[in-house]
Amino acid sequence: MTQRSGCEEPAVLPPPSPPPARFLGVSIAGVGSYLPTSTITNADLGQRVDTSDEWIVTRTGIRERRIAAPDQATSDLAVHAAREALAQARLSPADLDLVILATATPDTPVPPGSAWLHRHLGAVNAAAMDISAACSGFLFAMHTGAGLVRAEMHRNVLVVGAETLTRITDYTDRATCILFGDGAGAAVIGQKGYLELLYSHIGTDSSGRDLITVPAGGSREPASAATVEGKRHFLQLQGREVFRRAVETMTRAGQAALDSLGMKVSDLAWLVPHQANLRITQAVASQFDLPPERVVGDMSGTGNTSAASLPIALNRLQGSGRLKPGDRIMLVAFGAGLTWACQVYENTGVPR
């Protein structure tokens, strides 16, 4: 069975789309995150595959990752992060009119994972939908939610990035099993809040769609005994090429944001890149000539949690007390698709 759709490949990477207009009147009113309690350490992985703590830490900066309990599905993680974000926003689940769940690992393909989250949360007045954009999923969902708030079609939108990536990780493949972990992060957005959205842009380069893939389980290669036997329901990754494209794409997306806003790198207090690999965040920081202390690169205890990585990192930054009024924060993501996204916020320090 062919994996290709038959489309001609573009010869070169397309340039980024023209910068969009500045978003006004949309803010984050609360953030939250949740990590399951059990861990998989590098030493644990060394028992399963031919690897070492030293190799993993040097190549990725990761020391351990969290793993969901057997009875926890993605929505069970998501609901904890959602409740924390709602508490900070001083809203109840009934105040929400839209729930967006960004995930590549929904509880079930049908119904959408967001329906499970909607149920656990009791968001009785909200519609719920999933967005699938892999590691860029949270920012794709924030972009969508922000657009709907700005258009005054929704008032209080909960956006959650949540993953149980360990359920699609092949623990006999040393090149991928070292990378991924489970977790959830959330943000409540509306017209009022303390992090004002200044810029939002999303993009896709489908010429790289085979670089990060779960080949089977969809309509292109339906589940069968052979696909299970061939481990084709696990995440496969061409690590070196993904690394190269991640650095190049996130740098370009960040620069496009600065150009659009008429800002310089020195106007940013914080750069929060997708938390995939410490070497990737360091490489992006060095492209921008940013000192390490202004770049959030803290995946040592979580690994790559895909759509959950940015809201977890943002919540950690917010909770650390290091975020000061007036700080501008750039979030930039990259993931399977290939997808990328960038948002810039300003901390107005004024809660709703």
Instruction: Kindly list the catalytic residues.
Output: 135, 274, 304
3-class DSSP assignment, residue 299? coil
Cα distance between the two ends of the chain: 54
Nearer to ligand ACO, 134 or 159 (CB): 134
Q: Least distance to ligand ACO from the beta carbon of 208, Å?
A: 11
Nearer to ligand ACO, 53 or 95 (CB): 53
Residues 6+ apart with CB under 8 A from 313: 185, 272, 275, 296, 298
Nearer to ligand ACO, 135 or 162 (CB): 135
Q: Least distance to ligand ACO from the beta carbon of 165, Å?
A: 7
Structure tokens at 204: 């896709």
Between the alpha carbon of residue 129 and those of residues 63, 101, 227, 258, 317, the distances in Å are 34, 6, 28, 31, 27
Nearer to ligand ACO, 27 or 249 (CB): 249
Task: Determine the residue with CB nearest ligand ACO.
Answer: 239
Instruction: Dump the DSSP string for 112-166.
Output: -HHHHHHHHHT-TT-EEEEE--GGGHHHHHHHHHHHHHHTTS-SSEEEEEEEEGG
Q: Least distance to ligand ACO from the beta carbon of 205, Å?
A: 13
Residues at the interface with ligand ACO (CB under 6 A): 51, 55-56, 59-60, 134-135, 174-175, 178, 212, 237, 239-240, 242-243, 276-277, 280, 304, 306, 335-336
The region, left, alpha or beta by phi > 0 then psi within -120 to 50, assigned to residue 260 is alpha
Q: Least distance to ligand ACO from the beta carbon of 221, Å?
A: 18
273: which strand partners? 332
**Neighbour count for residue 210 (Cβ, 10 Å):** 15
